[in-house]
Amino acid sequence: MSEKELIHLTINGQSVAVPKGTVILEAAKTAGIHIPHYCYHPGLSCVGSCRMCLVEIEKSPKLQPSCATPAAEGMVVSTETPETLKNRRSVLEFLLANHPLDCPVCDQAGECELQNYYMDHGRYDARFSENKAKKKKAYPIGPHIISDQERCILCTRCVRFTQEISKTFELGVIDRGHRSAIDIFPGNELNNHYSGNLADVCPVGALTDRDFRFKCRVWFLGKTNSICPGCSRGCNIEIHFNERFNPRYHQERVQRLKPRYNKEVNGHWICDEGRYAYHSIDAENRLCAPSLERGEDPPEVSWEEAVRSTAKSVREIMDKHGPAGIAVLASPQMTNEELFGIRRLFQDHLKIEDIEFRVPPGEESYSDDILITADKNPNSKGAEILIASSAGARNLLQACSEGRIHLLYIFHHDLTLSFYSDFVSSALEKVDRVIFQGSWNNPTAALADTILPAAVYAEKDGTYTNIEGRVQRIRAAVPPVGRSRPDLDIIAQLAEELGVTIHKTPASAFEEIARSVDVFSGMTYATVGDSGQLLKQESGN
Ligand code: FES
């Protein structure tokens, strides 16, 4: 942006330059100055109703709302004058007059802006001794959200979210004066694909997440930046995990997912499907140990034994039938680094031609023009680039049924979701050795001779390439469950057993991808950073 397009102003004595149209509250952020606010949210329209963000502007007779006042050339703004501080205290006293004293049992504690601002700017002696207003408390307004009208400060962020983002219009402000409350319209419920975001936009404890309620105090949560694996959009998320996890209490390690702002991908939001899918991380059907037998509950073996046996089968089939006797079903659920491992081992070294990653979706999947895409894989784009796929999964299974494939290596897919189970089982029965490398037990895993348990996205590092060609990093928040391992570890160990050397860590794999695959050239984990980097062809470089 050229110097000409910038506005220069002074905030608390600091010189600030911001693009034209920036409001004072956002301009202050760029200088590291936080102006307390309630009704303002950067992803929603501005209503300027709570008056918490008022600041002093030189030559202006009254305090002005910093969320609604655009910065102007030469403006001199003060955010910490006696008058602004007095205003904040008064607003807090007004908002808290009828607020219930729920704090010890409120799920918002630790991330409640009433608590936080009271400690920073309130600390007045309460003058309100009347009975507090009584309103509807703790009642579900949809599958994911519980409402507590007594805690609500009527900032209307939630109402605007349903009007402007989900465009589902379930919420409104009903009644007038001190009876005003936010509620769903009669006969309606808050049931849209993005309703979980309302718990995020609510600055107090009025709308809370039914899934997270009373599970964990927020100060016990650790946070790791990652990417939602639920569809090809690749929404940026934070994985919140319990730092005091104790398996004795049968807790889940991951407690919730929160959207992470990325202007280019998901803005401030994520969909409910992605938000609540984390339960699968610690699901009971996770595969936790390698095994070498078919069936419901096969005996466990050591990793050394499992990998040695897999390598032996690969060698035997190669000797007897050549590379044509082996087929590989890679998965667009895997990271770029893992897919590159498959390419190095199976394509480049073993010269196997039957490698496929596309398996048709079992049922028609929901998509919209907000965030949700129809492709429920996080890395189809990466797989397209890194895997030279063959004639399709159906043809591959057909080749199995005809006895042309003697070893089938399946990564993650449950083929029974896409094809008739009879077709899958009769095809796999004809194969001498079926190897299943994946995270969850499923009907396809039950048909496999070898099970190699793999870590899920929250347990490993790597990158996905989203639908727009943006390469984004995932990071391990918790260790792999049981004796499962990241896919790349398993592939590298198998390669070693076969006498082939491939990269062993996601970082070294990514370096090699950047060296050898043109559209990734010049990329490093550092340049990808937290907001991702477009592939060369997509960025036009
Ligand atoms: Fe500015 Fe509410 S945040 S008036």
Backbone angles phi, psi at 122, to 5 degrees: -95, -100
Question: 35 CA distance to ligand 1 centroid (A)?
Answer: 10
Question: 41 CA distance to ligand 1 centroid (A)?
Answer: 9
Atom of ligand 1 nearest to the CA of 67: 1
Under 8 Å between Cβ of 535 and 469 = yes
25-71 residue pLDDT tens? 999 999 999 999 999 999 999 999 999 999 999 999 999 999 999 99
For the chain, residues classed under CATH 3.40.50.740 are 303-539
268-298 residue pLDDT tens? 999 999 999 999 999 999 999 999 987 777 8
Any idea what DSSP says for residue 304?
Answer: H
Token readout for 70 is 């655009």
Residue 54 to residues 40, 71, 136, 343, Cα–Cα distance (Å): 12, 14, 31, 59
**Helices 303-321 and 487-497, packing angle to 10 deg:** 60
For residues 50, 55, 57 and 59, what is the CA-based torsion angle, rounded to 10 degrees?
70
The CATH number corresponding to 3-94 among 3.30.43.10, 3.40.50.1370, 3.10.20.740, 3.40.50.300 equals 3.10.20.740
Question: 172 CA distance to ligand 1 centroid (A)?
Answer: 19
Question: 47 CA distance to ligand 1 centroid (A)?
Answer: 7
pLDDT of residue 541: 47
For the chain, residues classed under CATH 3.10.20.740 are 3-94
Atom of ligand 1 nearest to the CA of 53: 1
pLDDT of residue 360: 86
Q: Report domain 97-209's class.
A: alpha beta
C-alpha to C-alpha distance for 261 and 239, rounded to whole angstroms: 13
Q: Which residues of the chain have pLDDT under 50?
A: 541
Token readout for 539 is 């960025």
User: Rounded to an integer, what is the distance from CA 499 to the centroid of its chain?
Assistant: 38
Helix (H) or strand (E) holding 444: helix 443-446
Under 8 Å between Cβ of 467 and 375 = yes
The residues that bridge with 181 in the sheet, in sequence order, are 174
Around ligand 1, the residues with Cβ closer than 6 Å are 37-40, 48-53, 65, 67
- Look at ligand 1, atom 4, and give the residue with the nearest C-alpha: 48
Pocket test for ligand 1, best of 63, 67, 84, 94 (most atoms within 8 A of CB): 67
For residues 99, 29, 267 and 239, what is the CA-based torsion angle, rounded to 10 degrees?
-70
Atom of ligand 1 nearest to the CA of 54: 1
SS3 239: strand
Token readout for 53 is 């963000």
Put simply, whether the predicted model's pTM sits higher than 0.85 gets the answer yes
The CATH number corresponding to 303-539 among 3.40.50.150, 1.10.3720.10, 3.40.50.2300, 3.40.50.740 equals 3.40.50.740
Token readout for 211 is 């899934």
Pairing, β 407-411 against β 433-438: parallel
Question: 149 CA distance to ligand 1 centroid (A)?
Answer: 20
